[in-house]
Amino acid sequence: HVQLVESGGGSVEAGGSLSLSCKVSGYTYSSYCWGWFRQAPGREREGVAVVGRDFSTRYADFVQGRFQIFKDNSQRISRLQMNNLKPDDTAMYSCAATVCRFPLSTYLGGAAFDSWGQGTQVTVS
């Protein structure tokens, strides 16, 4: 059973930066895909970024070069570096992981992930 725990959320002013981390425990594969998602109150969950087993990445259009996703298989960690944050980025951010089976772009939708963390709150004022 895979468990994911996020950390690094907080409150920042617009233009600031935050680095989110997702630590996984349990049996994992180096062939895992990782993803970061967010959900703001009253809005649907949306994909932010995904990274594949070959370290290739995909980002949502709204990222516009401001965020970067990383993964470290040896440490079982995924990170989301967020720069130039905007008030619209305020949301609960969650990480997800699964064995990669499909084209990476598929995973931005979120439905292909089977393990999820509880989330960490990001507030931008």
The token duo for 4 is: 């994911």
Give the pLDDT score at 31.
80
The length of the chain in residues reads: 125
Averaged pLDDT for residues 31-43? 94
Q: How many other C-beta atoms lie within 10 A of the C-beta of residue 54?
A: 10
β-strand pairing of 120-124 with 10-12: parallel
How many angstroms separate the first and last alpha carbons of the chain? 37
Check residue 78 and give its pLDDT: 94
pLDDT attached to residue 26:
81
Section 39-58 average pLDDT = 95
